Amino acid sequence: MEHKLLGQSVVRKEGRDKVTGRAQYVDDLTLPGMIHGVTVRSSIARGRILGIRYAGSFPWHEFTIVTAPDIPGKNEIAAIAHDQPCLADKIINHPEEPIVLLAHPNKYLLEEARRAVEIETQPLPAIFSIEDSLARREIIAGEDNVFKSYLVCKGDVEAALAQADFIVEGEYRTGSQEQLYIENQGMIAVANPRDGVTVWGSMQCPYYVHKALMVLFGLPAEKIRVIQTETGGGFGGKEEYPSMIAAHAALLAWKSGKPVKIVYDRAEDMAATTKRHPSRTRHRTGVTRDGKLVAMEIDFVIDGGAYTTLSPVVLSRGTIHSPGPYFCPNVRIRSQAMATNAPPHGAFRGFGAPQSIFALERHLDQVAKAVNLPPEEFRRRNFLRQGQTTATGQVIHEDVDLARLLERALRESDYHAKRERFERENPGASVKRGVGFATFMHGAGFTGSGEVTLASVVELEATPEGSVRILTASTEIGQGTNTVFSQIAADALGIGYDRIEIACPDTGAVPNSGPTVASRTAMVVGKLVESAALALKQELLQSGLLCDSCTEDEFVRGCRRYIETRGPLRTRSQYEPPPGLFWDDINYTGDAYGAYAWAVYVAEVAVDTVTFETRVTDFVALQEVGKVLHPLLAAGQIEGGVAQAIGFALYENVVWHQGRMANGQMTNYIMPTSMDIPPIRVFFEEHPYPFGPGGAKGIGELPMDGPAPAILSAIENATGICLSEIPATPEALMDAMTQKAGPSG
């Protein structure tokens, strides 16, 4: 197959609609007779619901009011477990728990009415930290507050620790983080017993919403239809939560008989929707005198919030990534997702890996110091190499050369010269400069047997107008799905980019190609697009309507003739795992991912020792991601991810008060602006992955993993202060630097 488009930066498929303001997001849509819906939430973190009062002088008879007894099917948001209700009935488990839904044509009156609903409660003691949950100060979920735990064992950690020359211990923490897509979450629903339920909205995973609505309404699959509207960013925040809003809008539509729109404002979106799991990681590492890792004992804990949601899978990815891209013969990882009385934490780009990789990379800087090696030399001695095994026993078959990547990244960033220069210039300077790096990997696609279970399907069909339409449930959320799929299909068919159409992700029309998550869309679903396209061409060739080296006009004529004489021309492709992949879910061993992307990121910082502010002043991001399908989009993914991770490292501090986000506004939750992001220099190395389309691996989450440890390493280089927790706010740095200086006065 000739690649004319893959590797080229063609114009974004839906770009014109976006730059002209024509793209239709959910809040831009209005259906005839549509009314608005709002959610009345709990006011306490944990307790019993004793009653609901509709107070004030409102014309309550004009309002559609929905509570738990109105739910036609099961009162749950179907996901992995069955613990999260759609509407709290008797028990409250977090402060943003939805209890009552209201709908009315006048959205201003509706907002006042929401405030007039009084939930009478009896509070129960609540817990808000990983420590309190582990100590079982209250049991708030199951028998022990543990949503999920894993144990990964390789070799004999005890024996290896006993023989190690040095043992280095450390504890590291990461805070919560809000996805902060600029488009707030929202849904429109039409629902009645005759036609079933249809929802339109902002989402990553139409079939997750589809499943949740089937359970909620007790309706068969064909009675539920979920349609994605243009989506203004996701980052994981629109993976599982849209099921909740869709459920609420649909219940109000079902009861009122009218179309209902629920669109959150920013405050509600930040308060009620999922965020990144806070984490605590403890490391105990055995190392030889010459800097070889001999034992890694890792204890990784995440705060899941009040319900299970996706915590088991976030924990899984975080666990598997916790030993990083290093070879160690003896590894034991224990990990747990714990319940607290906060709104459930959920998917966010990186999915547990940014947390555990932050801990590891910070820790290895300390291990390097213990054995008196520069951090880059220590890593060089321990990088995973072809033929070696990861902690889960996965043999690395790729010809990965992390030492070379490291050398190139340090060269591109002028790392060694900067280290020397800063060492010379920092003494006496009030703004101290530093440079640091992180080396890491990110597994693409679902973990373990996930892709086999998903068994994703893609279809292609030729249209009588002479185009080929791609039918998938994979959503365009800014990352470039529409564009990359079009490139893949056009190259496989040997036709132009403009001949390819993307069907709207509508469960009534497209097959289930799985969720748009886990850096899987280009690599896994893109491969299915490629094979369905090759099958379509093969069908035309076999029917004698096309010769192998046809022109585009001949292709179009061939399609038309096929449709006229034989009926619809449609092909289908379903996921088959690459040969030789094996995963044992019980013992947590085997091939955790089909492919890994490998990376070295280098950050330069300037720390103002008067204001304690840290600025990132230069950034090099070097990665090996297989074949780069679209250089502009790929660089855009890396740059956006690095910027989001700079926020994670330095600025984005979710302040919790009794399980509730206390700074849920853009005024006091600070994400990076154009003034805060340094030049990001992106470099790709390309080793085609044989099982990705055109050789591509996953890319979307990778850039979230490396920046935070690289930045904290640079802060340590600048100031000598070793921070083990993010965000490294000026307050945190001030505390650490003042302590180091000792009490004054």
Partner 1 sequence: MGEPVHKIGIACTVNGELRRFRAYPMARLLDVLREELHLTGTKEGCGEGECGACAVLMNGAMVTSCLVPAAEADGAEIRTIEGIATGGQLHAVQEAFLECGGAQCGICTPGMVIAALTLLERCSHPNDAEIREGLAGNLCRCTGYQKIFVAVVRACQPAGEGQPSIP
Under the criterion CB under 8 A, does residue 109 sit at the interface with partner 1?
Answer: no
What does the alpha-carbon distance between residue 106 and residue 726 come to, in Å, rounded to a whole number? 43
Q: Which of residues 160-199 bind partner 1 (CB under 8 A)?
A: 179-184
Query: Contact region for partner 1 (CB under 8 A) — 4-12, 289-297, 378-386, 562-570?
Result: 4-12
Element (H, E) at 409: helix 402-412
Is the Cα dihedral 306, 310, 313, 315 positive or negative?
A: negative
What does the alpha-carbon distance between residue 685 and residue 687 come to, in Å, rounded to a whole number? 7
Identify residue 484 by its one-letter amino acid code.
V
Under the criterion CB under 8 A, does residue 10 sit at the interface with partner 1?
Answer: no
Query: Contact region for partner 1 (CB under 8 A) — 23-31, 75-83, 489-497, 591-599?
Result: 23-31
What is the rounded (10 degree) CA torsion for 413, 416, 418, 423? 160
Binder to partner 1 among 232, 505, 700, 706 (CB under 8 A)?
Answer: 232
Q: CB of residue 350 vs partner 1: minimum separation in angstroms?
A: 15
What does the alpha-carbon distance between residue 70 and residue 181 come to, in Å, rounded to a whole number? 32
Under the criterion CB under 8 A, does residue 22 sit at the interface with partner 1?
Answer: yes
Q: Using CB under 8 A as the criterion, what x/- string covers residues 605-634 for binding partner 1?
A: ---------------------------xx-
Nearest to partner 1 of 23, 503 (CB atom): 23
Binder to partner 1 among 81, 146, 373, 677 (CB under 8 A)?
Answer: 677
Query: Contact region for partner 1 (CB under 8 A) — 12-20, 130-138, 207-215, 543-551?
Result: 12-20
Binder to partner 1 among 643, 699, 704, 715 (CB under 8 A)?
Answer: 643
Under the criterion CB under 8 A, does residue 675 sit at the interface with partner 1?
Answer: yes
What does the alpha-carbon distance between residue 556 and residue 566 come to, in Å, rounded to a whole number? 15
Element (H, E) at 616: strand 614-624
Q: Using CB under 8 A as the criterion, what x/- string covers residues 27-66 for binding partner 1?
A: xx--------------------------------------
Under the criterion CB under 8 A, does residue 24 sit at the interface with partner 1?
Answer: yes
Query: Contact region for partner 1 (CB under 8 A) — 11-19, 249-257, 366-374, 708-716?
Result: 11-19
Under the criterion CB under 8 A, does residue 9 sit at the interface with partner 1?
Answer: yes
CB 618 within 8 A of CB 604: yes
Nearest to partner 1 of 542, 674 (CB atom): 674
Q: CB of residue 519 vs partner 1: minimum separation in angstroms?
A: 16
Nearest to partner 1 of 386, 665 (CB atom): 665
The pair of three-digit structure tokens given for residue 286, joined into one six-digit string: 């055995």
DSSP E strands: which ranges in 193-352?
196-201, 224-228, 260-263, 279-287, 293-305, 331-339
Q: CB of residue 187 vs partner 1: minimum separation in angstroms?
A: 16
Nearest to partner 1 of 11, 135 (CB atom): 11
What is the rounded (10 degree) CA torsion for 243, 181, 344, 314? 90
Under the criterion CB under 8 A, does residue 641 sit at the interface with partner 1?
Answer: yes
Nearest to partner 1 of 34, 489 (CB atom): 34
Beta bridge partners of 196: 192
Kindly report the number of other CB atoms within 10 A of residue 428's CB atom.
6
> How far from 272 is each of 342, 493, 731, CA to CA, in Å?
10, 45, 27
What does the alpha-carbon distance between residue 678 and residue 163 come to, in Å, rounded to a whole number? 45
Identify residue 355 by its one-letter amino acid code.
Q
> How far from 208 is each of 87, 515, 519, CA to CA, in Å?
18, 7, 17
Binder to partner 1 among 83, 96, 97, 230 (CB under 8 A)?
Answer: 230
Under the criterion CB under 8 A, does residue 480 sit at the interface with partner 1?
Answer: yes
Q: C-alpha angle 515/654/431, rounded to 5°?
A: 115
Q: State the residues that interact with partner 1 by CB under 8 A.
A: 9, 11-12, 14-25, 27-28, 179-184, 230-235, 265-266, 477-480, 632-633, 635-636, 639-644, 665-667, 671-675, 677, 679-680
